[in-house]
Structure 1
Amino acid sequence: MTESQGRYDVVVIGAGPSGSVAATLLANYGHRVLILERQHFPRFSIGESLLPQSMEFLEQAGLLQAVVEAGFQYKNGAAFCRGTEHDQFDFRKKFSDGWGTTYQVQRGQFDKILADSAGQRGVEIRYGQTVTAIEQLETSIVIDVSPEEGTPYRVAADFLLDGSGFGRVLPRLLNLEKASCLGSRVALFTHVEDNIRDSRFDRNKILITVHPSNPEIWYWLIPFSNGRSSVGVVLPRALFDDAIMAEQPTLQRYIDEGGMLSEILANALFDTPVGKLDGYSCDVARLYGERFALLGNAGEFLDPVFSSGVTIALKSATLAAAAVHRQLNGLQPDWEQEYAIPLKVGIDTFRVFVEGWYDGRLQDVIFSDNKSEPVKAMISSVLAGYAWDRRNPYVSEPARLSTLAELCRR
């Protein structure tokens, strides 16, 4: 028999960045919050190169100090390589106001820091819990939970937030999933003892490298503060055959083809199994409904190329927490105007940049020899996560990227 285990103001599915930040903000408001997390922390996750805009959201929730004190790798920008072409964007030289530096983080440690800090703020967190169903009642939403140990149970809440990431719990349970407009791709990745001695590599920046002969293939190299790095390759789905291609040799073969990247990693020790993320781009029919909202990757995930995932997740948590707080206080927030539309401003900006990366427009801008410094500062702002700053012409009108690409090609 399923037992009832009380009622909360808010239940959050997932203790990742979006869930922990939303829960902390709501606990700061004085609400009773429960997080249900399927896994146990620390646990491995990718999305390790944060953007400076994220620092503002962590600061709002009161979580920044714990992150700063953790000793993560300092990050001040992004470097790009395509054959013999190189450029870098210093995020401190950007158009938008705000943070210009951030960190490269091992997500197991980073996510646990956020979750532990949420717990210290009064959020109740239960690990090893799988949400199996929900029931929307007139005055509450009821969540069915299957724990790793013990009897299945139900909890009730005034509001439910889904921060389950790629688990996408509510989109599956409520049939909200829809195909992404972005192409299907595969990411292969691992952690290495990097042993990098190459002076061309700046550990304060993520390195994004384009494959020498196929511009749709690209690599990331994210250095950590302990002499290790995250390295991955992103391929069009058509280039990866599950039946005949194993992850480890495929990743290493592509790294060997990576030009300067292969030289930088010449002494790397590949000591960790290779992971795969397949067909990761996703979308939903809507971001909210009666007594629920979707956060971060549970709503929409674009692509790892500009490390936008955590930033979008934290922005969604900040917007949603404010709207939920108003609703719990008896007000009637306009979820379309206060949550969906503002969130999509940044998502749509990043989407144009992702599309521009794969069709070559943004690559031609990045590797242009004749960029003006003011325009470069505007592009740098978007790459730093300030995709909601409507003062930036490439946010207010992202289609300007096509015109800029044409000018750079000339």
Structure 2
Amino acid sequence: MAAVPDQVDVVIIGAGPSGAIASALLKQRGFSVIVFEKEQFPRFSIGESLLPQCMQYVEQAGFLPAVRDAGFQFKNGAAFGWGERSTYFNFEEKFSPGHGTTFQVERARFDKLLADEAQKQGVDIRYCHSISDCQLHDGGGNTVTYATPEGESRTIDCRFVLDASGFGRVLPRLLDLETPSDFPVRQAAFTHIDDGIESTDFDRNKILVTVHPEERDIWYWLIPFSGGKCSVGVVASEEKLRKRGAATPLQLVQTMLAESPVLANLLQRAQFKYPANQITGYSCNVKSLANNNYALLGNAGEFLDPVFSSGVTIAMRSASMAVEVLAKQLDGEAVDWQNDYEIPLRKGVDTFRVFVDAWYDGLFQDIIFYPEQSVNVREMISSILAGYAWDEKNPFVAEPRRRMRALAEFCSSAA
């Protein structure tokens, strides 16, 4: 492999979905790009249930044929369960135009596929290279310090830095951009299983989100993959999970599954033979998402909660939006990162935030389990769940908090 150049137009930190898409889009526009990735792909990651709007950005980057041919589990919606109650949303029945189906993916293989496709387009990706410093120059441009796989420290000059490091949050740490999230501290414990599901009632084309039978702020995900495998996880406050007294993440997952009779029955033949893990306090925020030197993409900027699988969609959306602004800046046009990138990106993020808040408050659960739902309202909600949180023609995007409260009050009073 050729030596790392001394200077490029754009340095991208991280080769995950946002980094791969941003790098391909920039390469297509003729800019010189290098991607520094700390790990070697494939590597494990969560965020496995994609939303249909992701496909717009996968297609934009030229990756869609490869993704469609990869044999990932088809996904057309989301199912919800709470005790004996159940409901589902078909993402093809939605208010907003655009893709109505997507995939459920093991991220190790999915992320490597996207990175490989970017490399096929000529993107320079350097694995096992970590970033230790980033100096922003007042007159424009940056000097990035990186470590090679052999541990040597080197620098590269660039006109701009895109941070696609996800939970690594490289620039927020180096530039002191981190600020506390206003979300309560929650914990997720998760693993992969050979699910052994024989029930014909289980729809493998949908993620299953299950509410704890007694504690509505505890919920489970069950994400089917191709080949009889699933991702399974539980999310609750750190305090509530600590009370279960489990010694390991795997024991915690198994303990919590036993508290849900529906899931325990569904997974009675499951084999737990893969490593389990847990993360705590994953919600995060920053003081600023971008300026004329850098932009933060996806989880590097803000992560809300896994409940509606919004993370990868926000990451891909941010990559596409940032490239549009950055291309203008690199071509010599004046741009306003606050008004052109941060504010419009946060509009959709804030829509998801309202849905997350309403989920844990129980309001959204009251809505989706209400038995006499309006078709039009279901289509509007389905659009948000499918990732179309930036479609301001949708009343639940234009006025998400007011609409959510009014609908929850109606469902509660009519019940």
TM-score tier, shorter chain, comes to over 0.9
Residues 239-288 of structure 1 show CA distances to partners (whole Å, capped at 9, x for unaligned) of: 23399642111110100111211111110000011111110000001101
1:53 maps to amino acid? Q
Match of 1:347 in 2: 349
Residues 105-158 of structure 1 show CA distances to partners (whole Å, capped at 9, x for unaligned) of: 010011001111111111100000110001112342000001221521101110
1:74-223 aligned at under 5 Å gives the runs 74-137=74-137, 138-223=139-224
Q: 1:88 to 1:164 in 2, by over 3 A?
A: same
Contact 2:292 2:337 in 1 (8 A): no
Match of 1:274 in 2: 276
Match of 1:310 in 2: 312
Taking the aligned partners of 1:4 and 1:41, their CA distance within structure 2 comes to: 19
Contact 1:211 1:259 in 2 (8 A): no
- SS class of match (1:231): strand
2:405 corresponds to 1:402: yes
310-319 or 337-346: bigger deviation: 337-346
Match of 2:336 in 1: 334
384-393 or 134-143: bigger deviation: 134-143
Contact 2:246 2:252 in 1 (8 A): no
1:107 maps to amino acid? R
Match of 2:10 in 1: 10
Contact 2:119 2:125 in 1 (8 A): yes
2:243 corresponds to 1:263: no
Taking the aligned partners of 1:307 and 1:371, their CA distance within structure 2 comes to: 23
Taking the aligned partners of 2:392 and 2:352, their CA distance within structure 1 comes to: 13
Contact 1:195 1:267 in 2 (8 A): yes
Aligned residue among 362, 365, 368 for 1:366: 368
2:406 maps to amino acid? T
Percent of matched pairs sharing the same residue: 51
Taking the aligned partners of 2:184 and 2:370, their CA distance within structure 1 comes to: 25
Contact 2:246 2:255 in 1 (8 A): no
Contact 1:5 1:153 in 2 (8 A): no
- SS class of match (1:305): helix
Residues 294-320 of structure 1 show CA distances to partners (whole Å, capped at 9, x for unaligned) of: 000000000000000000000000000
141-150 or 376-385: bigger deviation: 141-150
Q: 1:4 to 1:26 in 2, by over 3 A?
A: closer
Q: 1:145 to 1:401 in 2, by over 3 A?
A: same
Q: 1:139 to 1:335 in 2, by over 3 A?
A: closer
The alpha carbon displacement at 1:5 in A equals 4.4
Match of 2:393 in 1: 391
Taking the aligned partners of 1:244 and 1:258, their CA distance within structure 2 comes to: 16
Contact 1:10 1:160 in 2 (8 A): yes
1:239 maps to amino acid? K
Match of 1:230 in 2: 231
Gaps of 5+ in 2: none
Taking the aligned partners of 2:131 and 2:62, their CA distance within structure 1 comes to: 28
1:97 maps to amino acid? P
- SS class of match (1:357): helix
Match of 1:247 in 2: 249
1:60 maps to amino acid? Q
1:250 maps to amino acid? L
Gaps of 5+ in 1: none
- SS class of match (1:143): strand
Taking the aligned partners of 1:130 and 1:363, their CA distance within structure 2 comes to: 42
1:48-63 aligned at under 5 Å gives the runs 48-63=48-63
Taking the aligned partners of 2:71 and 2:241, their CA distance within structure 1 comes to: 37
The alpha carbon displacement at 1:62 in A equals 1.0
Taking the aligned partners of 2:335 and 2:117, their CA distance within structure 1 comes to: 28
22-31 or 237-246: bigger deviation: 237-246
2:145 maps to amino acid? D
Taking the aligned partners of 2:40 and 2:8, their CA distance within structure 1 comes to: 22
- SS class of match (2:43): coil
Taking the aligned partners of 2:320 and 2:81, their CA distance within structure 1 comes to: 34
Compute the RMSD of aligned alpha carbons.
1.3
Q: TM-score w.r.t. structure 1 length?
A: 0.98
